[in-house]
Amino acid sequence: MNPQNAAADPEVSCFLTANAGSGKTSTLVNRVARLLLRGAKPEHILCVTYTKAAAAEMQGRLYERLGGWAVAEDEKLADQLRAIDENPDDLATARALFAKALETPGGLKIQTIHAFCEKLLRRFPLEAGLSPSFQVLDDLIARDLAQKALEGLLTLPEGAHRDHLIRTLKAQKFEQLLSQFIYQHDRIREALDTLLAAAEHNGLSFSGYLFKRLDLDPPMTPEQVVDAFADGLNWDVMPEMARSLATINTKGNQSLSETLLRLSEARKNGEPFDFETLHAVFYTAKGEPRKDLCSSKSAQADRDTLERWREPLAEAVEKRKAAETALNTLYTLRLFEDFSVIYQDLKRRTGALDFQDLISRAKRLLSGATMSQWVLFKMDGGLEHVLVDEGQDTSGDQWDIIDALVDDFFSGAGAPIFQARIDRTIFAVGDEKQSIYGFQGAKPDLFLGKRQYYQTRAERAGKRFVVPQLVQSWRSLPQVLGFVDSAFDAPDLSEALNFTAERILHDARRSERPATVELWPPIYPLPVPDLGESDDEDIAPVDASGAAPAKRLAQQLAFHIAQDIKQGRSVIDKGSRQARPMHAGDVLILVRKRDALFEHIIRELKQAGVPVSGADRLKLSDHIAFQDLRALMRVCLQAGDSLSLAAVLRSPLCDLSEDDLFTLTRDEKASLWQALNRLAEDNPRFSEAQNFIGWALSEAPQRTAFDFLGLVLNRRDGAGRTQRQRFVTRLGVECEDVLDETLNLALKGEGVGAIGLIDFLNLCEFNASEIKREQEEGGDRVRVMTVHGSKGLEAPWVILPMAPGFKSTRNDDLLLMSDEGDLLVSARGKDGDPEAVSALKSARALREAKEGLRLFYVALTRARDRLTLCGYRGSRAANGPFPDWYDLAQDGFDRLPREAVVGVELDTVVEFGAPKAPSEKWEPVFGSAGASKNAHEPSEKTELLLFGERAPLMTAEAQAAQIQTGLPTFISAAPTPDPEADVVWRAVSQLSDEDRSAEDRAPSPLAEQKGQGRFGRGLKIHKLFEILPALPVADRDDVAARWLKRQPDLDDAQRDEIRQAVMGVLTDARFADAFGPDSRPEVALAGQVGVNARGEAVFMSGRIDRLVIGPERVLVIDYKSNRPAPDSAEEAAADYQRQMAGYVALLRQIYPDKSVEAALLWTDGPKLTPLSEALVNLRLSEIRGH
C-alpha cells in the first residue's frame, strides 16, 4: 500500500506529515471519498481547513471527484476505485455519492474553524449564553470598537496605574503598548490566564507570583531596593575616604571626593539617596564598569573599599530592574484588564462577537460538563469523522475544540445508537517545516504533541492509529528538491525545521527534464558620488537613489523576465507535461515583506512592459487613489486647504500637470482655489477642473460619504469618461480594488455612525484596511507577493530576491510573551532589562529565526521547474542565530557536488558593485563546464552559479506548432442548430419590423452612451412615475428633486425639465384616475395573443407602465416622453400602437367580463391619447399575420 492510500484508509485514525508538493489535498479528498464509500453519512463528517480558499478548493475537488464517478464508464470507474484501494465492484455506490453529497442539508462540512464555530453558536445560542441574533464583527467595526475602548480607557477617573505607565514609558512607547492591546489582545489574555492559574497553583497572589518570578521575594518596589542597598553601605568611612581622596591632586580623585562628600552630607541630612550618582562612580554612561576607581596607587585602601561596594551595587541594579519590570508589568496588566472590560462591554451592547470570541465561546460550549454532550449529540446526530488540514498552523484553542469533538472517539462513550459501519476516526495532516504563522498563535511543536497524545489514546483504546509520512513530491523537478535538501543539510537547520537533527530529504517524482536552480551574485551598494560644487546639489541626491541596490536588483530581474518571455524560454506545462513557451503568468516573485524592494520590482516590471498583477495586499491608506479621494473630501470641507486641493488637481480627478500647478501658485497672495477661479476663464483645462471642484463643493454638504464617493466616481467628463475610468487609465487596474474598498469602507462606516465626510475622514485616520487580492495560478501576469501569501501556490519559475538584515516588526513590542505563558514588560530597552526579560527576548528572537527558516523552506518549495535566488547586500548584516537567506543559499550551493555546479555568465543591465570587505567577495564555484581552474578564484565577469540545466529556448516554429495544437476542436466547428427552437418570445413593441426606422430600434445595452440621450430621459421619467404616485401628494415634488439630484449624468437644467414634466402629469386632474387607488405600476404581462396565418402560436411578453382596474373597465396606459407629442394615437409610431394592441389582447383574456381600453400618456403637453377600437383591431391583425 502506498503512503497516500495508507493515510486515506477510512478505518484508521491518522496524523500525516506531508512534505511540500506531496499531494496532501489529494489525500484529504481521497479519505473523504473513501469514508462515503464505506457508508459514512456526509453530515457526520467534518473537515476543518485553515483558510476559506483551502475549503473552497477542497470542496471543489471533492465534488469534481464524485461528479466524475457519477458519469464514468464502468471500466474507468473500477480502475479509479482500485487505485485508491477500494472495491472495484462498488460501482453503484460510487455513482450515488455525488447526489448524496448534494442532497445533504447544509452541504458537506468543509469549512474553516471560525466558520464551524459560528455555525455551532448560531445553532445553540442560548446554551452558549448569546443572543440568537448576534453578529460577527468584521475588521473595521472591531477596530472601531477597540478605538472606542482605548478612548474610554484614557478617561477612567481611577487611573494611578495608567498615569504611572505614561510617566515611565513616555508618549510614544505608551501608544505602542496600547496598540499591542488591540492586535495581540487574545494572546495577552491567554498569557494572563496562564499566569493567574500559575499563581493560584502556587498559593500566591498574582502580584506576589509576579515578583517571585523575578526573584524578588518578598516583593519590593524600586525605591525599596534602593533604600535596602543604601542601608547596607558603610556610611561611617565615606567622609574619611572623601578627605583622603581630596589630598591627591588629580582631576578624577577630586571629582570622586566631591561625589562621596555630597552623598555623605545628603545621608546625614536625611535626604533621599541618590542612587544614580553612586552608580556613575562605578559605571560609564554606556553601563560598562569603570576599570580604575582611583587614579593613584597611594589610595589603595580607598580603592579596596570602593571595590567591595561594586558587587552589592551590581546586585541592587539588577534588583531595581526586576522591581521596575514587575511593577510595570503589574500596572500594564491592570490597564489591559480595564481595556478588556470596556471592549467586552462594547461588544456585549452591540450584540457582537469578534473572531476570537467565536473560538473561545465554542470552546466553552463544547467543554462544559453539563451541556457539551447534549450539544455534541444534537450536531446532526453526532460527528463520526473529523479531518484537520494544516495541523501545524492550528492554535492551542482551536485544538481544544477539536479535542472536545473527538474525545469520545477513544473512550467508547457517546457512541451512536446505531453502530456505524466503520470506527470513528480523526485525521490530521500537516508539516512542521511549513509552520509560518507564529504571529497568529501557531505552534509547530503543538502538532507533534497532539500526534503523540492521540496515538497514546488510540493505543489504550485498542484503536488503529498510523503516522505515515509523504516525502514524495509531485510538484518540483529533482534539482529543485536536491538544492532544498542541501540548503538545510546541517543539524541546527534540520532541528529548527522539523525538531530533529535528521536530514531533510525529498523524493522527486517528476522527471521530464533537469530543472534550473541559479544563484546570482549579490548586488552591493555603490559609492556615494561626491557632489562637489555642483549647481544641481539639491537634485543630485534624488537622482542618485537610482543606484540603490534594491532598485538595481529589480531592474536586473525585470530585464531577465522580459528577455526570457520574448525569447520563448520553455517551461513544462502542468496539464500536458509538455514543453511550451513561458508567459508572464509562469513567474512568481516572492519577498519576505512588502518593502522598497517589493515596490521597485513591480515598478520595474511595468517599465519593462511585463504584465504584472500588482501587490497581493494593498493597504488602503497607502494607495494614491484613496489618498486622492481623501484629499477631495478635505477640500469639500475646507476649500482653502491648498495642499489638499493641489493633490486633487494633480490626481486623475482633474489631471493637471506640474506646470499647471506652478502657474496657479505664482500669485503667492491668493489661495489655490482663488487662483483657479481667476484663471479658469482663459484656460479650458483650468475651467474643467474648476467646474469639477465647484460641483463637488455643492454636492458634499447634502450627501453621506458613501453617496458622495459614488457620485464622484460615476461622474462623466466632457469626453464621456467616468472618474473611475480616469483612475484606472492612469493608475492601472489594481486601483479598481482600491476604489471598491473605499466605497465599502464608507458604507461600513455608516454602520458605526461615520455618515458624513468629517466622520468618514476621522474613521480613515485609524483605519488599517488591507485588500487581499487573490493571485492564483492561471492568469497571464507576473505575481509578486510575500512568502506568507504564497502558501499553497506554485509556479514554473519562482524568483526569490533577498534583502539583507531582516528585522521583525514584533521586536518593538513592549509586552513580551513566551510559549510557556510568561508575560513581562520591557520598558527601558536592552540596557534596562533584567535577566528574565532578556531571556524572553532571546527566546523570541530564536523562535522568530526558526520561523524565518521555515519561511525560506516554503519559498523554495513553490518552484516547479526553475528557481532563481538573488539578493543585495546593505549596511546592516544579519546578527541572528542563523545565517540570512542569501548566505543559506550560498551554503546550499557549497554543499552540492562540485561537478554538478557550473559558473555561467550573467547578462547584466546594472552595475553589481563590489564588497567593502575582502572576505565578502563573490566566489563562483565551477564544475567541469567552468573556465576557471581554481574553484574559489573570483571571476572578472559577472557570473551566476547554476545547478541543473538552463531550459531551452523554443523556436518560432515550435511555438507556432504548440499554439496550433493547443486550440480545442470546437473553435473551428459550426454550432449545431436546435431543431426544437420554434417558439420565440418577443416584447410586444418588437412584434413587427415593418415601418421601423433604424433610429426607432432600441440601442444595445452594451453600447457606450454619451450623456443621457432620449432613452435615458425616458427611463428616468418612467422610474419617477413608478415611485411618486405611492407617496403623499405633498412629498412628491421634493422626492423627485432629491432623486434626480443623485443622477450623475444630468445637469441642473435637465433635472428641472424632467421634474416639471412628471409633476405636470401628476398634478393634472385629467389623469387622476390613472394614478388613483385602483391603479398599479409596472405590471408584467405574458401570454398567447392568437394564431398566425401559418397556424403558429404568437406569444408576447411585456411590462405595463400603469394598469387601472375598475369595476367595469380596465385601462392600460403606457408613458411616452417623445417630443413633440402627437395629437392623437393614430399619429403615434406603429410600434407603440402594436404594443398597446398586444396588451389589450392579453388583458381581454384575463378580464373577459370587462371593457379593456388602451391609451398613451405623453409627458409633453401633457396629454392622454386613447387608442380606438378600430386601431387596436387593425394592429392585432398585423400581429397575427392576417
Q: Which residues are annotated as a binding site for ATP?
A: 18-25
What distance lies between CA 459 and its chain's CA centroid? 42
Query: Within 13 Å and on the Cβ side, how many CA atoms surround 506?
Result: 29
- Enumerate residues 6+ apart whose C-beta is below 8 A from 13: 409, 425, 426, 427, 454, 458, 463, 464, 465, 466
Tell me: cis bond preceding 897? Omega within 30 of 0 counts. no
Beta strands (DSSP E) in 788-831 are: 795-802, 815-817, 823-825
**C-alpha grid cell for residue 569?**
524560454
Tell me, what amino acid is at 650?
R
Calculate the CA 201 to chain-centre distance.
41
All three cell numbers of 82, joined, read: 482500485
C-alpha grid cell for residue 1014? 432620449
Binding residues: 18-25
Work out the angle between the directed axes of helices 705-714 and 684-699 (0-180°, nearest 10): 150
What's the angle, vertex CA 793, arms to CA 791 and CA 798, rounded to 5? 105
> Which residues, including other chains, have CB under 8 Å from residue 385's CB and lie 6 or more apart?
10, 35, 40, 44, 45, 46, 424, 425, 426, 427
Please give the single-letter amino acid code of residue 413: A
Q: Are the CB atoms for 381 and 418 separated by under 8 Å?
A: no
In terms of Cβ atoms closer than 10 Å to its own Cβ (0-12, 13-18, 19+), residue 417 is exposed
User: Which residues are CB-neighbours of 1094 under 8 A, at least 6 positions away?
Assistant: 1185
1024 Cβ partners below 8 Å, 6+ apart? 1040, 1043, 1044, 1058, 1059, 1062
Q: How far is 251 from 268, CA to CA, in rounded Å? A: 26
With beta carbons less than 8 A apart as the criterion, state whether 455 and 15 touch: yes
Nearest to 826 by CA among 370, 419, 378, 332: 332
> 433, exposed or middle or buried, with CB in 10 Å at 0-12, 13-18, 19+?
buried
Residue 1159 pairs in a beta bridge with 1117, 1170
* C-beta neighbour count of 391 within 10 angstroms: 29
Listed in sequence order, the residues at least 6 apart from 436 whose beta carbon sits closer than 8 Å to its beta carbon are 393, 442, 787, 788, 791, 851, 854, 855, 858
CA distance 270 to 267: 5
665 and 649 in contact (C-beta within 8 Å)? no
Contacts for 880 with CB less than 8 Å, ≥ 6 apart: 845, 849, 852
DSSP H or E segment with residue 1135 = helix 1134-1150
Read out DSSP for 258-318?
A: HHHHHHHHHHHTTPPP-HHHHHHHHB-TTSPBPS-S-S-GGGHHHHHHHHHHHHHHHHHHH
C-alpha cell at position 494: 534540520
